Amino acid sequence: MNALFDHWRLEIPGSRIPELSIVIPLYNEYEVIPMMHERLTGVLASLGVSYELLLVDDGSCDGTPGLMSQLAEEDPAVAAVFLSRNFGKEAALTAGIEHAAGSAVIIMDADLQDPPELIPQMFQAWKGGADVVCMRRRSRAGEGWLKRCSAYLFYRVLNAVSDVDIPADTGDFRLLSRKAVEALKKLNERNRYMKGLFAWIGMPTVVIEYDRMPRAAGVTKWDYLGLFNLAFQGVTSFSTAPLRLAMAGGLLTAFFGVIFTAWIVVKTLVLGEAVQGYPSLVSMMAILGGVQLLSIGLLGEYMGKTYYEAKQRPVYLVREVVGRGRRPTHAAG
């Protein structure tokens, strides 16, 4: 898959490779785009490095694509990648990372929940030798207690069961060096749980803490079902612990089954209490049936994952790229 996208980088003569690429996935973010562009441009201009703003439209159905094209026309630092439909944030991020040309790539949300003002700090950490600069949320303003609690729990559980150490309370907001980006591009699995993939590559990492802002405008694109799906993806993509749990459950049930059977034999032979226990029979069947179906479902989930991997479909499809070739600009700083 990588060879497919390499030409984006090759198109740009060596001397014109920007120092920083800011990758932003957008899905129906019409309201927030002007504000985002203004704040980012301000910060990047004062930093005085060459940069590109790589906006990835994830199949938006509001005015986002139009506004993005307009920005790419007006601002030579902006490049816009349009996906052919809504592929989800993880795919949009993948598209952004694969199209980014910069020596370092910063990934952030469009809604300004990740403050652009932190970019200079991230840039310094990268200059200081870090390949990954991970932003950890000290607080999450503007998010309800249920989301906070579930996020807290999720990161703890994921870490406990997964094979790689996925730092708690970090989102997708981070900086990746070119080395890290190239490493990431080698992971061409279809099920893309980005936080896990980021953690999987390892590399010297610096963690910076920040306060997460409320959304600047618009509404969140996640509902609880979406978040639950993402969480489930995260766990099943990076761990087979659920399978082991199912096995442990089976073992435990079988163990108690044997004890229970022995008890029935004793009751029948020694105490002479034969043929009874309709309620226990029914409840045992219900419990066992439930556990079995759950385990089969779990098995199916992993098999389904393998099925999707086996198809080798691309993670996303690009409809159009606007603003390539006229970048990058050098900030007047």
| Site for Mg ion, rule CB under 5 A | 109, 111, 113
114 binds, among Mg ion, ligand UDP, none (CB under 5 to 8 A by kind): none
User: What SS3 class is residue 30?
Assistant: helix
Q: Which is nearer to ligand UDP, 90 or 131 (CB)?
A: 90
68 binds, among Mg ion, ligand UDP, none (CB under 5 to 8 A by kind): none
Rounded distance between C-alpha atoms, residue 207 and residue 199, angstroms: 12
Q: Which stretch binds ligand UDP (CB under 6 A): 214-222, 230-238, 267-275, 279-287?
A: 214-222
For residue 183, what are its two tokens?
Answer: 């490493």
Query: Pick from 221, 235, 239, 331: which binds ligand UDP (CB under 6 A)?
Result: 221
What string marks each residue from 66 to 95 as x (binds ligand UDP by CB under 6 A) or -? --------------------x-xx--x---
User: Other CB atoms closer than 10 Å to residue 245's CB: what's the count?
Assistant: 13
What string marks each residue from 24 to 43 as x (binds ligand UDP by CB under 6 A) or -? -xxx-x--------------
If one asks whether residue 53 binds ligand UDP (CB under 6 A), the answer comes out as: no
- Provide the pairing of β-strand 104-107 with 132-140: unpaired
29 binds, among ligand UDP, Mg ion, none (CB under 5 to 8 A by kind): ligand UDP
Q: Which is nearer to Mg ion, 99 or 215 (CB)?
A: 215
User: Where do the DSSP E strands lie in the chain?
Assistant: 20-26, 50-57, 78-83, 104-107, 132-140, 170-177, 205-212, 318-322, 329-330
If one asks whether residue 110 binds ligand UDP (CB under 6 A), the answer comes out as: yes
46 binds, among Mg ion, ligand UDP, none (CB under 5 to 8 A by kind): none
92 binds, among ligand UDP, Mg ion, none (CB under 5 to 8 A by kind): ligand UDP
Amino acid at 247: M
Q: To 5 degrees, how large is the angle CA 174–CA 176–CA 178?
A: 165
58 binds, among Mg ion, ligand UDP, none (CB under 5 to 8 A by kind): ligand UDP
Q: Which is nearer to Mg ion, 89 or 99 (CB)?
A: 89
Q: Which is nearer to ligand UDP, 214 or 257 (CB)?
A: 214
User: C-beta of 39: minimal distance to ligand UDP in Å?
Assistant: 14
DSSP H/E element including 151: helix 145-161
- The closest alpha carbon to 126, from 203, 50, 186, 185, belongs to 203
- The closest alpha carbon to 284, from 263, 251, 254, belongs to 254
CA torsion through residues 85, 90, 92, 95, sign:
negative
